[in-house]
Amino acid sequence: MSATDPNCLFCKIVAGQIPSRKAFEDEHLLAFHDIHPWAPVHVLIIPKLHIATMAEVGEQHAELLGRMAVLAPRLMRELGVTNGFRTVINTGPDGGQEIYHLHMHVMGGPRPWLKG
Residues marked as catalytic:
103
Q: Given phi > 0 = left and psi -120 to 50 = alpha, else beta, which region is 48?
A: alpha
Half-sphere CA count of 44, side-chain side, radius 13 A: 21
CA-wise closest residue to 11 among 51, 41, 43, 38: 51
Q: Which residues contact 101 (CB under 8 A, 6 or more apart)?
A: 5, 8, 9, 10, 11, 46, 50, 51, 52
